[in-house]
Amino acid sequence: MDAEEEREKKRVDLSDDPSNKAMVQRAFHLLPEEILLEILSRLPIISLMRFKTTSHAGYDLIANPGLPAIFHNRVSDSNPCLILFDYNFHVPRGSYFVDIEDCSRRVRKIDPLQLSKVYDLVGSCNGLLCISLSDGSSESYSLLIYNPFVGDAVRVPAANPFPNQREVFGFGFHPRTGEFKVVRIVWFKLDVEDVEEVKKLTVQVFTVGTTEWRTKGDRTPQLAGVAGPPDAGVAGPPDAIVEGSLHWVTFVVGGNGPIFGIISFELADEVFVEILHPPCQRFVSRPYSLSVLNGCLSAARLVDTLHFDIWVMKQYRFKEHWVKQFSFDPCSPGKWPGYLRIFPEFICALKNGEILLRYDDNSLVSYDPVEKRFKNLQMSGLPKDFVALPFQPSLFSARATMNLQL
């Protein structure tokens, strides 16, 4: 048993002592409510959930309607946590939680809904996850929005199916409207008699708290997926949510044919907009990843075997405001142990100015751009093959997502 496990055992033993529980409860009752909420808002989400289950008094304190907003403001100023989705041959096997600021760096499995079906991630926003549940058939699925720590869920009504469809979903929140929305992009094929097969695209939007999907038609940028095979279009969930818009890297129709570009879907006005890519030819001819860096849209890719570049759009939607903020050798001799077969994936920025990366051996690595050094973040219980997403835990209920003002 290591030192952290020993300390954890002692904490559990103390909380199991009835006299200690009574003493803690009496001490909390003597404090004013605003001080109690301030103390609780500073606790890690895992500690809050543990405290919630220790007594009725603890449960009542965590259920205080004033705590979610105070906790949200507190975690917004902290390092982002991570949600890890464990994949095996593209089939999710579980989800995990990592608090970067937790000294123990323990990876904890989270599955409060006891999901027994196959599920996949649609999106993550403001502490809520949107997942697609399936019984294993691509024709049968349902969407669920839930808070993995509060444990409640909202089921999204089924959308109308189309013939021979391929669909992609997005999930996000717009701070101006205070609404969570799910976006559905559908490619489908119509078999027209005596006419060559026709490919169509349509877009639908569901606002959480309503009862049905709304069709927005096919007023989208000229996606190559419309004219070509459906798989040439948007490939999966949006890569980044910035300024209340969902963003994807996809093929767009350029002057000399399809090129890689960025499209966004504005959640407030419910329209597609094409975003200018970084002023680098490599970001046109090859795929790249999008993320959020200090609140700004960022694009990252391996330029050559010696340079991994991260560009940041300092002023949203202005091409001249793309700035190359980081450029480093992802496998510098003497600065990283061993030889890496596949190069890094940018996850997020940390409060200390370092950036968080995932490498091909599924290790989490921080890079210090000042010292130009890498550091392996030793994590206990990392799955063998995972997707890592920045995640700010929340105490807001999924059922209370109508007109949420953050």
Higher pLDDT, 163 or 68: 68
The answer to whether the Cα torsion of 80, 154, 273, 162 is positive or negative is positive
Q: Residue 377 pLDDT > 80, yes or no?
A: yes
Q: Residue 213 pLDDT > 90, yes or no?
A: yes
Q: Residue 224 pLDDT > 50, yes or no?
A: no
Q: Is residue 249 part of a domain?
A: no
Distance CA 97, CA 107 (A): 6
157-195 pLDDT per residue, tens: 888 887 777 788 889 998 888 889 999 888 776 655 544
Q: What is the mean pLDDT of residues 282-296?
A: 82
Name the least confident of 20-24, 72-76, 292-296.
20-24
pTM, two decimals, is 0.81
Q: Is residue 64 part of a domain?
A: yes
What percentage of the chain exceeds 90 in pLDDT? 9
pLDDT band at 297 (very low <50, low <70, confident <90, very high): very high
Q: Is residue 149 part of a domain?
A: no
**pLDDT of the residue at 225:** 41
Q: Is residue 12 part of a domain?
A: yes
Q: Is residue 276 part of a domain?
A: no
Q: Is residue 43 part of a domain?
A: yes
- Per the structure, how many domains does the chain have? 1
Q: Is residue 315 part of a domain?
A: no
Q: Residue 66 pLDDT > 70, yes or no?
A: yes
**pLDDT of the residue at 361:** 61
**pLDDT of the residue at 214:** 93
Q: Is residue 128 part of a domain?
A: no
Q: Residue 298 pLDDT > 90, yes or no?
A: yes
Q: What is the mean pLDDT of residues 350-368?
A: 85
Average pLDDT over the chain, rounded to whole? 76
Q: Residue 352 pLDDT > 50, yes or no?
A: yes
Q: Residue 320 pLDDT > 70, yes or no?
A: yes
Q: What is the mean pLDDT of residues 196-220?
A: 78
Phi, psi of 24 (to 5 degrees): -65, -45
The number of beta carbons lying within 10 Å of the beta carbon of residue 1 is 7
**pLDDT of the residue at 266:** 92
List the domain range (segments joined by +) for residue 33: 3-72
Question: Residue 326 forms beta bridges with which residues?
Answer: 310
The answer to whether the Cα torsion of 117, 120, 122, 127 is positive or negative is positive
Q: Residue 11 pLDDT > 80, yes or no?
A: no
**pLDDT of the residue at 378:** 80
3-state SS of the chain is: CCHHHHHHHHHHHHHHCHHHHHHHHHHHHCCCHHHHHHHHHCCCHHHHHHHHCCCHHHHHHHCCCCHHHHHHHHHCCCCCEEEEEEEECCEEEEEEEECCCCCCCECEECCCCCCCCEEEEEEEECCEEEEEEECCCCCCEEEEEECCCCCCEEEECCCCCCCCCEEEEEEEEECCCCEEEEEEEEEEEECCCCCCCEEEEEEEEEEECECCCEEEECCCCCEHHHHCCHHHCCCCCCCEEECCEEEEEEEEEECCEEEEEEEEEECCCCEEEEECCCCCCHHHHCCCEEEEECCEEEEEEEEECCEEEEEEECCCCCHHHEEEEEEECCCCCCCCCCCCCCCCEEEEECCCCCEEEECCCCCEEEEECCCCEEEECCCECCCCCEEEEEECCCCCCHHHCCCCCC
105-138 pLDDT per residue, tens: 788 888 656 555 567 788 888 889 888 876 655 5
